[in-house]
Amino acid sequence: MAPRKKASRDSNQVPNPLTDEDRVELFRSMVGIREFEEQVQRSYLEGLVHGTTHLCNGHEAVSSGVIKALRPDDYISYTYRGHGHCLARGMDMEAAFAELFGREDGVCGGVGGSMHLTDIDKGLIGAFGIVGGGLPVAVGAGLSAQLAGKEQISVGFFGDGAANIGAFHESLNIAQVWNLPVLFVCENNLYGEFTRINHTTPYEDLVIRARGYAMEAVQVDGNNVEEVYAAASVAAMRARGGGGPTFIEAKTYRHRGHSRTDPAKYRDPAEVEAWMKRDPIDLYRKELEARGVLDDAGADAIIEELRAAAKEAADRAAASEWPSADQDFMAKTFA
Amino acid sequence: MAPRKKASRDSNQVPNPLTDEDRVELFRSMVGIREFEEQVQRSYLEGLVHGTTHLCNGHEAVSSGVIKALRPDDYISYTYRGHGHCLARGMDMEAAFAELFGREDGVCGGVGGSMHLTDIDKGLIGAFGIVGGGLPVAVGAGLSAQLAGKEQISVGFFGDGAANIGAFHESLNIAQVWNLPVLFVCENNLYGEFTRINHTTPYEDLVIRARGYAMEAVQVDGNNVEEVYAAASVAAMRARGGGGPTFIEAKTYRHRGHSRTDPAKYRDPAEVEAWMKRDPIDLYRKELEARGVLDDAGADAIIEELRAAAKEAADRAAASEWPSADQDFMAKTFA
Amino acid sequence: MATQEMTYREAIVLALQEEMRRDPTTLIMGEDIGESEGPFKTCQGLLEEFGAARVRDTPIAETGFVGASLGLSLTGYRPIAEIMFADFLGVAFDQIVNGIAKHRFMSGGKVKTPIVIRAIGGAGLRFAAQHSQTAESWMLSVPGLKIICPSNPEQAYLMLKAAIRDDNPVLVLEHKALMSMKGPVPVGTEDIAMPTGPNILRQGSDVTIVGSLAMVGRSLGAAELLKDEGIEAEVIDIQVLRPMNVELIADSVRRTNNLVVVEEQAPTGGWSSDVVADVVSQAFDYLDSPPARVTLPDHPLPYSPGLEDAMLPSPEKIAATAKALLE
Amino acid sequence: MATQEMTYREAIVLALQEEMRRDPTTLIMGEDIGESEGPFKTCQGLLEEFGAARVRDTPIAETGFVGASLGLSLTGYRPIAEIMFADFLGVAFDQIVNGIAKHRFMSGGKVKTPIVIRAIGGAGLRFAAQHSQTAESWMLSVPGLKIICPSNPEQAYLMLKAAIRDDNPVLVLEHKALMSMKGPVPVGTEDIAMPTGPNILRQGSDVTIVGSLAMVGRSLGAAELLKDEGIEAEVIDIQVLRPMNVELIADSVRRTNNLVVVEEQAPTGGWSSDVVADVVSQAFDYLDSPPARVTLPDHPLPYSPGLEDAMLPSPEKIAATAKALLE
Ligand SMILES: Cc1ncc(C[n+]2csc(CCOP(=O)(O)OP(=O)(O)O)c2C)c(N)n1
Ligand SMILES: Cc1ncc(C[n+]2csc(CCOP(=O)(O)OP(=O)(O)O)c2C)c(N)n1
Ligand SMILES: [Mg+2]
Ligand SMILES: [Mg+2]
């Protein structure tokens, strides 16, 4: 095995090195997310997805890489741009589509919507539509994990834009003071909605922010899924062992606009082009092919399979019933 | 003149070196604050001050030193523990006492109270009772100063405890991104109410927090008024020149409890003793005497004078009328 | 002054533009409002005309920039803060209720705080529970704050201009479902005054229907339905939620003897209860029926389109409620 | 179970103690609540008995620790968050209204969020504008939240225990002016239920007076004054603000035919309007007079003792209001 590129000073001690099966699984995970999102876009244009939706194309290596490093009883909080995290964690595609379509079979019965996919049984504790809003919740889950004493951890995913809001600050400080097993995973895609990071933050390397909390931190290529995995594995190991939280900055890029039909005209074409060349799925495919883990046909087959799976799941979801307006909503409000 | 101790790498370039008259003024400023607060405590025990009050005994060098570095058109925001800032800026003692006593002649007509002394004509833009609440306001005043283009600056005073709240974070980030002329002055007295900093913050040197914003920062001995002055002068010069904000951590200690009659039993007696030995007024008195700027009798005379002045101001304030409940409060609510 | 047909959104843009031209101490802050001109395009052309110093893209930090508006107002500026979705008022809440709304009073009436907070709220666009609130009831009880709600392009224009000229903190709640509503706007109006109470939009003698924002149009729709049944509804736009003044509504009720209030919020804690309570105390003897309220149900708003539609007060439901009172 | 005389504050401590003993998944977070036992001493002895893992001093970061309670509740714990002054609910507001209150609903009813937020509010102690609010009206319109208000030691004890056992987010508003009120408390009660509506504290046939928290005692005081004039007031403690249920009040009004609601908040946006609106719709034909409300004035609370006292609804003012209805 070729030596893996170092993600940080610790990444050469990855606790659970990947097998080839793991690698194929990672590839499948990313492709699954991509094909799901592509189908969401098509479904959106067909009028099946309502209101708004925030696609994560381009970010697949972050969700797939981090979540691969987790155990089944770990907790994850994420955002309105959270389809990828849910799928990487095993959310059923049909249930996810049905939620986006507002149907009864949706993972939240159609009342949550695209921004709020939640599946507590998988540790998917919530998708937060208020920027930064999920981080205190991740801290709470981290405290829970610490108290339970079962080496669980909690992960809070968030964007670069979220690093400027108060909830972020309070969360990182509390996690550090209480030495909580929390991974703060910043998906730095350089934009908060339509505004580039340089307009809102004093620098582009958000890993710097962790210094203010004296928190362990690492910056990774968020388009390199194994590098993400390695960093998350190390951080998870540290957290499970009582070593406290880690800030992981994953440099990535969103391929599409912020939401819906945003054409993202505010981005420099050269920047877009440079990043599109670094598509995390293409990169990994090349790496796996170079390593002989997958061949071209094998990779194509996976893509075909998952594209078809997404399409079928969407079709089934589109056939699902609308939720009844006569149901007992108060029972959904109060337990 | 003996070389001044270095506060930071820049402090040997203090833009406006102090004259002996300045030094006496600084001493008077600190003594005035101390005598005011001592009188507040007596008045509190006599039932003249209502509700609660937060004394700043021990912090005098911070307010006096920073405010000495300001120009008349600069802006200052501060906290419930804000009597010192107001007095250092020239608030009339009687008007301050009258406010604490809830009288008509109070600087806010008796409706503000001990936590909310405000005097806009002196640039004393507000005392904020919500921890961290004054910092966004200081940022706004800093933006105002930047837009006006008159080399004004804005200062936001706050405590160590406030460095953990969201408003702090958002304020520092905005000030840095917008390169605003704001001095963030942290009076690190090691306690937020009854809880020591080590329970709430990952370290005791809050200057570290500034790193997360890539902000210029300096730590000073908050009980050494000239060191505070020097650091503030440098930061003010930088801000006026377009160099952006500075974080100033002033290490200090409160001599009394958090508020009212809190005996502050939660503090280690050795810690209290060590700090009481470093009373900023005693230290400066010794320094001025050693330098021959003041002699013992001169220092005593200043203390006597200001003690008497505080007493008289309190007596006059106590004789002031109660505000009428029949007045037009809506006119105080809306302009 | 000329009347021009335009959308609610364009009316907002025009008001901002005219007032920013008029007064160089005005400035606007918000997320993605500069080059991107705001997610709802409510700041179209502003950056180009007024430059980056006065049209400021902020970090995602509502506490920070809303709080900054207090500092600006105390030092000679007239800041306008745009809150992209009214739901996000929650993250700036403390600065609004404990800071901005109280600062003048706590100073003994010695400072002025000319601040406008514009927030775009409301349901109907399938934005689900965290992006569909009008949110005014959160602040309805906060002394020191004015709250106004434009329900059409003319009001969007006039009210925003008035708010910008007002020397006090004004929360202007705009409704996202109204953004493309068209109507005549008296362009260039210079004689501007803050609205001080409600406004009668349709006269009628049988029942008074009061609404705000998107509920005004639905109330007018209900009036049409009622007309078909021979019932003449008077429709009133509440316009000003704070300070609340129901005299005109009480007057109307003295004529119609029946009252329905329509609110796009939960049944508890909203302004419709205030209207009922105040009207009852002012016009008790004139009421032929107990005032009725049509509100959202007492749970968060669901995402699914059919569900969202079923929750919102419809013209049919409003009309039925009014009719029931008259029976 | 034995009845024991104790203060409101001691009743809070006891409820916390008993429930934390009963259920190891409970824990409490707040500022200065550990060694210092809380600024109002509402956490006396807790650290000693339950240790620092379950009695947690937090940084000054209400958004952080209130939000953390949502994460804890989703993962098997029953967190209790103490907000030192109810006024500080403002800084945690978003987490409460957009997060905690909506999370179960948005999940399709699939998660449980057993969270208690205790907040100590209220006027009368000369704490001025930023430290004297009861603040409940900020959240009165927020579906998904329960809000309860204990007005005496027994209720402080029973309600807090019930809130801790409830599987939903409950905001328990305690009043700082009641902290040293003494009364009998049924120590060790195991049969606990969440209150679902108001409670009659004094029977009377002439007028119904409804209050909450410190206004309950003042209403009882008013009833004594009225008695001297031959007027029998029925005094009702609203107890539960959310979900609001006024049936018992409407029943009472059907007997007394007159209603006064006393609220320690501004005249707009508070629960007294909801009570009036709901009672009017349920008992319209039984009302002999328009329901009256006694509230704070529509400006922030002033500091000066005489001013503060003049603002608060006094027994005299409540009695005079009731009397005026009967004239
Ligand atoms: C408190 C708050 N303010 C504003 C918004 C509107 N908003 C939604 S997403 C977003 C940008 C967030 O950027 P980032 O954190 O980088 O995440 P990304 O969308 O790039 O994944 C904004 C401003 C919001 N949801 N919440
Ligand atoms: C948001 C908020 N939370 C809690 C409080 C209660 N409180 C008042 S002062 C204080 C401690 C503040 O400590 P620090 O910032 O260090 O300032 P110091 O009092 O030491 O000067 C606390 C917790 C408050 N006023 N505001
Ligand atoms: Mg981003
Ligand atoms: Mg401190």
Residues D128-147 pLDDT 10s: 999 999 999 999 999 999 99
Residue B156 domain-assigned? yes
Mean pLDDT of chain B: 95
Judge whether residue D232 has pLDDT over 70: yes
Residue D115 domain-assigned? yes
Q: Are B102 and D304 in contact (CB under 8 A)?
A: yes
C-alpha closest to that of D250 among D215, D218, D291: D291
> How far does the CA of residue C54 sit from the closest CA of chain B (Å)?
9
Q: How far is CA C62 from CA C92, C117, C164, D59, in A?
A: 5, 11, 19, 21
Q: Which residues contact C130 (CB under 8 A, 6 or more apart)?
A: A115, A116, A128, A129, A130, C87, D98, D102, D106
pLDDT in tens, C233-290: 999 999 999 999 999 999 999 999 999 999 999 999 999 999 999 999 999 999 999 9
Residue D308 domain-assigned? yes
The CATH number of residue D45's host domain is: 3.40.50.970
Give residue for tokens 């809150």. Answer: C83
> How far does the CA of residue D171 sit from the closest CA of chain A (Å)?
14
Residue A9 domain-assigned? no
C-alpha closest to that of B83 among B125, B109, B54: B54
How do C2-7 and C182-187 pair as beta strands? antiparallel
Higher-pLDDT residue of B70 and D1 is B70
Q: How many beta carbons lie within 10 A of that of residue B296, not counting itself?
A: 9
Distance, in Å, from the CA atom of B328 to the CA atom of C201, rounded to the nearest integer, reads 34
Structure tokens at C44: 């179209």
Which residues in chain C (217-256) have CB-CB distances under 8 A to chain D?
Answer: 241-244
> How far does the CA of residue B130 sit from the closest CA of chain A (Å)?
15
Residue D194 domain-assigned? no
Tell me the chain D residues in contact with residue A140 when contact means C-beta distances shorter than 8 Å.
Answer: 67-75, 79
Residue A287 domain-assigned? yes
Closest chain B residue to A216, measured at CA: B202
**Claim to verify: residue C98 and residue C121 sit in the same structural domain:** yes
C-alpha closest to that of C222 among C239, C202, C240: C202
Residue A10 domain-assigned? no
Q: Are D165 and D19 in contact (CB under 8 A)?
A: yes
Mean pLDDT of chain D: 98
User: Which residue among C10, C19, C31, C62 is the active-site one?
Assistant: C62
Binding pocket residue ranges, ligand 1, CB within 6 Å:
A 81, 129-131, 158-162, 187, 189, 191-193, 258; C 31, 60, 62, 84, 88, 91
| ipTM score assigned to the predicted complex | 0.98
Residue B225 domain-assigned? yes
Using CA atoms of C301, C306, C309, C310 in order, give the dihedral in degrees to the nearest 10. Answer: -80
D70 with A137: Cβ contact below 8 A: yes
Residue D245 domain-assigned? yes
Residue D259 domain-assigned? yes
Q: How many CA atoms lie within 13 A of A75 on its CB side?
A: 36
Q: How far is CA A248 from CA A133, A145, A187, A209, B256, in A?
A: 18, 19, 9, 11, 42
Structure tokens at B206: 């809050």
The pLDDT value given to residue A2: 40
Residue D192 domain-assigned? no
> Hey, whose CA ends up nearest to atom 9 of ligand 1?
A193
C-alpha closest to that of B180 among C64, D37, A1: C64
Judge whether residue A6 has pLDDT over 70: no
Tell me the chain D residues in contact with residue B50 when contact means C-beta distances shorter than 8 Å.
Answer: 126, 303-305
Judge whether residue B266 has pLDDT over 60: yes
Q: Are A176 and A213 in contact (CB under 8 A)?
A: yes
Confidence of residue A260 (pLDDT cuts 50, 70, 90): confident
Q: Which residues contact B308 (CB under 8 A, 6 or more apart)?
A: none
D39 with B193: Cβ contact below 8 A: yes
Residue B12 domain-assigned? no
D175 is catalytic: no
Residue C194 domain-assigned? no
Q: Residue D20 belongs to what domain range?
A: 2-187
**Claim to verify: residue C207 and residue C116 sit in the same structural domain:** no
**Claim to verify: residue D267 and residue D132 sit in the same structural domain:** no
Q: Residue B110 belongs to what domain range?
A: 20-334
Judge whether residue B9 has pLDDT over 50: no
**Residue A110 Ramachandran class (φ > 0 left, ψ -120 to 50 alpha, else beta):** left
Judge whether residue B222 has pLDDT over 80: yes
The answer to whether B169 contacts chain A (CB < 8 Å) is yes
The answer to whether C140 contacts chain D (CB < 8 Å) is yes
| Percent of residues, chain B, with pLDDT higher than 90 | 94
C-alpha closest to that of C121 among C174, C74, C166: C174
Distance, in Å, from the CA atom of D4 to the CA atom of A43, rounded to the nearest integer, reads 65
Distance, in Å, from the CA atom of A57 to the CA atom of A34, rounded to the nearest integer, reads 6
**Claim to verify: residue C179 and residue C121 sit in the same structural domain:** yes
Distance, in Å, from the CA atom of B107 to the CA atom of C312, rounded to the nearest integer, reads 50
Confidence of residue D150 (pLDDT cuts 50, 70, 90): very high
- Sheet strands side by side (includes C55-57): C55-57, C26-30, C78-83, C115-121, C169-175, C146-148, C240-242
Closest chain D residue to B109, measured at CA: D304
Q: How far is CA A271 from CA A189, A197, A257, B326, in A?
A: 11, 13, 14, 66
Instruction: Give how many domains chain B has, as a whole number.
Output: 1
**Claim to verify: residue C223 and residue C88 sit in the same structural domain:** no
**Claim to verify: residue C49 and residue C146 sit in the same structural domain:** yes
**Claim to verify: residue D229 and residue D301 sit in the same structural domain:** yes
Distance, in Å, from the CA atom of C146 to the CA atom of A169, rounded to the nearest integer, reads 31
Residue A247 domain-assigned? yes
- Averaged pLDDT, D212-222: 98
Give residue for tokens 């709220």. Answer: C121
End-to-end CA distance of chain D, in Å?
47
The three-point CA angle B196-B199-B204 to 5° equals 70
C-alpha closest to that of B53 among B129, B118, B126: B129
Q: Which chains touch B (3 or more CB pairs under 8 A)?
A: A, C, D
Q: Are C179 and C9 in contact (CB under 8 A)?
A: yes
Which string of b and e fits B219-228 if b means at least 16 CB within 10 Å?
Answer: bbbbbbbbbb
Judge whether residue D65 has pLDDT over 60: yes
Residue A158 domain-assigned? yes
Nearest to C168 among B135, B143, B335 (CB): B335
**Claim to verify: residue C69 and residue C47 sit in the same structural domain:** yes
- Averaged pLDDT, B289-298: 97
Mean pLDDT of chain C: 98
The best mutation among D60, D66, D89, D91 to test binding of ligand 2, ranked by most ligand atoms within 8 Å of the C-beta, falls on D60
The CATH number of residue B74's host domain is: 3.40.50.970
The pLDDT value given to residue B261: 78
**Claim to verify: residue C166 and residue C211 sit in the same structural domain:** no
A169, with CB counted inside 10 A (0-12, 13-18, 19+), is: buried
The CATH number of residue D211's host domain is: 3.40.50.920
The pLDDT value given to residue B14: 85
Length of chain A as a residue count: 335
Residue D263 domain-assigned? yes
pLDDT in tens, B119-143: 999 999 999 999 999 999 999 999 9
Instruction: Give how many domains chain D has, as a whole number.
Output: 2
The pLDDT value given to residue A14: 85
The pLDDT value given to residue A261: 78
Last residue of a domain, one of C160, C187, C214: C187
Count of CB contacts below 8 A, A vs C?
121
pLDDT in tens, B226-264: 999 999 999 999 999 999 999 999 999 999 999 987 999
Count of CB contacts below 8 A, A vs B?
64
Judge whether residue B300 has pLDDT over 60: yes
A254 φ, ψ (degrees, to nearest 5): -95, 135
Judge whether residue C134 has pLDDT over 70: yes
Q: How far is CA D207 from CA A262, C216, D248, in A?
A: 61, 37, 14
Judge whether residue A12 has pLDDT over 80: no
The pLDDT value given to residue B13: 72
Distance, in Å, from the CA atom of B40 to the CA atom of B57, rounded to the nearest integer, reads 11
> How far does the CA of residue B167 sit from the closest CA of chain A (Å)?
6
**Claim to verify: residue C183 and residue C231 sit in the same structural domain:** no
Distance, in Å, from the CA atom of B194 to the CA atom of C285, rounded to the nearest integer, reads 58
Dmax (CA) for chain D in angstroms is: 60
The pLDDT value given to residue A11: 41
User: Which residue among D31, D62, D136, D234 is the active-site one?
Assistant: D62
The pLDDT value given to residue C55: 98
User: Which residue among C37, C82, C131, C264 is the active-site one?
Assistant: C131
Structure tokens at C127: 């934005």
The pLDDT value given to residue A327: 96
pLDDT in tens, D183-201: 999 999 999 999 999 999 9
